[in-house]
Amino acid sequence: MAIRWTDYPAAPHHDELIAPGGAPRHGAEAVARHLESLGISELTVRQKAAEAAVKAMGITFTVYHEEGGSIDRAWPLDIIPRVIEAAEWRRIDAGLRQRARALNLFIDDIYHAQRIVNDGVFPRQYLADSVNFRSQCVGINPPLGVWAHICGSDLVRGADGTMYVLEDNLRVPSGVSYMLENRQVIKRVFPELFEENTILPVDDYPSQLYDMLRAIAPPGIDKPEVVVLTPGIYNSAYFEHAYLAQQMGCELVEGRDLVVDKDDCVHMRTIDGWSRVHVIYRRIDDLFLDPEAFRPDSTLGVPGLLRAWRAGKVALANAPGAGVADDKLVYTFVPAMIRYYLGEEAILPNVPSYLCAEPDQLQFVLANLANLVVKPTNESGGYGMLMGPRSTEQEREEFSLLVRANPRNYIAQPVLQLSTVPTLIDQQIEPRHVDLRPFILSGSEVQVTMGGLTRVAMRRGSLVVNSSQGGGSKDTWIVETSK
């Protein structure tokens, strides 16, 4: 069966590949032509080949099984790539770097002089109510002044074509391994397109990550020992932890492998005895990191780890307390932060947001619940949200009680019509909604992945892109065009 882009229902959303009327967007011409030349049946064959490659390469994610165990599922990948023209990407890249710089300055300020609070730019009571503010981190000077070394910011494009930042994940963002593996698979599926086009490579990430981690080692260490700290095989991102450790050639450790000495140094137990660790890329949440400092019932962490970090004997990435900026209320202040710390205007806009903590905005939100998305400020993964247009009267009533009881805990946003990308569904090409998660590394310099992980909602009309809830993924191509 032939593919005719003129029949493709791009409207009413912004489609990333096809403009209304069926013409390919700038940068996507070659892909669109190539897909046409292949036709549906050949495309289906290649989709099957991609799925077989995913299986053979062992690219999995873990979902919890109903019966208590956990199982590995093959990573879902749709072969039609999402294309972004390099010129546009350069602007996004600059916007993300600007954002990461401002966020790190904000976190450092919050744990020191709190100038932004004293100057009245960030309200003091918001800080006092923040659940991710860690008093244990006050006055600490992490190497290079960086707290959020690895940031995953979610981008979405609205119906008008504007790329917005939806949220910044500064705790333990995941997904980068799938970005890297998707490219490996898609190169096998469309080798001819990679030969004929300038698709910018993504493979540098593990080396950049490793270099950044080495750069934050305590001073005076010639060959720092860098490790990845995982909660263990039952964590949904365990594949990624193992993958990154392997790609960087460093040890993948669990909490029980590490011990903090009386002199505040961290050691891991090896077959040769004890061996000092200088940098920990930790994939365990703050509260589970050190039972002495945070949750005493945590068995995942290392007793004394925070003490070692405070003493400057070990570097932690991300630094404890970095999550203070991973809060949807703080998010609404990022453009103000950029202005305050950098004296610049934000290159990438936020999604317009209403703060329920502000009485007048709260009134607007409550009066317009049916048209808004209401989000708790401290949850991730889409939990505890109200999708106004799809809610029932009763749900809205219940939610308005929740919001009134704790307005600090909620923000509201207009429902965004996320952009779409052509996706292979049951031997047809249909538009499906996507987002994009680039990863930003902050060390002595700030670097952004070339593109990021595109997640796609596989059900028609759905905006849920999470892989645990039936979301898929796409390779993301940053394409250099000659024009």
Partner 1 sequence: MLSRVADNVYWLARYVERAENLARLVEVNASLMLDLPRELAPGWQSLITITGSQERFDELGKSTSERDIIRFLLAEPDNQGSMVSALAQARELARTLREILPREVWEHLNGLALYVNERANDAVDKRTRHGFLRYVILATQSLTGMLEGIVSEGPALWFMALGRNIERADMTSRIVDVRALGMLPAQGSAMGPFATIQWMSVLRSLSGYQMYRIKTGQRVYPAGVVSYLLADTDFPRACVCCLRRAQEVLLRLPNSQSLVSRVQQLRDGIAATSFELLDGDAVHQYIDQLQLSLAAIHDDIRQTYFLAGLAAVHPGAGESQSQA
Binding residues vs partner 1 (CB under 8 A): 56-58, 72, 232-233, 239, 242-243, 245-246, 251-254, 256-257, 259-263, 267-274, 303-304
Least separation in angstroms between residue 175's CB and partner 1 is 18
Cβ distance to partner 1 smaller for residue 224 or 303: 303
Least separation in angstroms between residue 234's CB and partner 1 is 10
Least separation in angstroms between residue 212's CB and partner 1 is 20
Cβ distance to partner 1 smaller for residue 242 or 311: 242
Least separation in angstroms between residue 177's CB and partner 1 is 12
Cβ distance to partner 1 smaller for residue 117 or 242: 242
What phi and psi values does residue 374 have, to the nearest 5 degrees?
A: -110, 130
**DSSP element (H, E) containing 423:** strand 420-425
Least separation in angstroms between residue 458's CB and partner 1 is 26
Phi-psi group of 425: left, alpha or beta (phi > 0 → left; psi -120 to 50 → alpha; rest → beta): beta
Q: Are 164 and 416 in contact (CB under 8 A)?
A: yes
- Any idea which residue has 């990430």 for tokens? 205
Least separation in angstroms between residue 469's CB and partner 1 is 24
DSSP-assigned letter for residue 219: T
Cβ distance to partner 1 smaller for residue 277 or 458: 277
Q: Quote the CA–CA distance of 54 and 355 in Å, as a whole number.
A: 43
Name 228's bridge partners. 252, 281
Nearest to 155 by CA among 347, 8, 431: 347
Residue ranges of E strands in 158-284? 163-169, 198-199, 226-229, 251-253, 258-260, 266-270, 273-277, 279-282
Q: Quote the CA–CA distance of 381 and 117 in Å, as a whole number.
A: 29
Q: Quote the CA–CA distance of 426 and 8 in Å, as a whole number.
A: 15
Q: Quote the CA–CA distance of 482 and 468 in Å, as a whole number.
A: 39
Binning the chain into helix, strand and coil, the percentages to the nearest 5 are 35, 25, 40
Least separation in angstroms between residue 57's CB and partner 1 is 7
Cβ distance to partner 1 smaller for residue 56 or 367: 56
**263 burial class (0-12, 13-18, 19+ CB within 10 angstroms)?**
exposed
Q: Are 432 and 26 in contact (CB under 8 A)?
A: no
Q: Are 270 and 314 in contact (CB under 8 A)?
A: no
Q: How far is CA 110 from the centre of its chain?
A: 23
Least separation in angstroms between residue 54's CB and partner 1 is 12
Least separation in angstroms between residue 58's CB and partner 1 is 6
Least separation in angstroms between residue 238's CB and partner 1 is 8
Cβ distance to partner 1 smaller for residue 51 or 251: 251
Name the amino acid, one letter, at 44: T
Nearest to 83 by CA among 151, 6, 18: 18
Least separation in angstroms between residue 270's CB and partner 1 is 6
Least separation in angstroms between residue 241's CB and partner 1 is 8
Q: Quote the CA–CA distance of 340 and 334 in Å, as a whole number.
A: 10
Q: How far is CA 452 from CA 54, 177, 362, in A?
A: 18, 10, 35
Q: How far is CA 299 from CA 163, 228, 423, in A?
A: 41, 17, 43
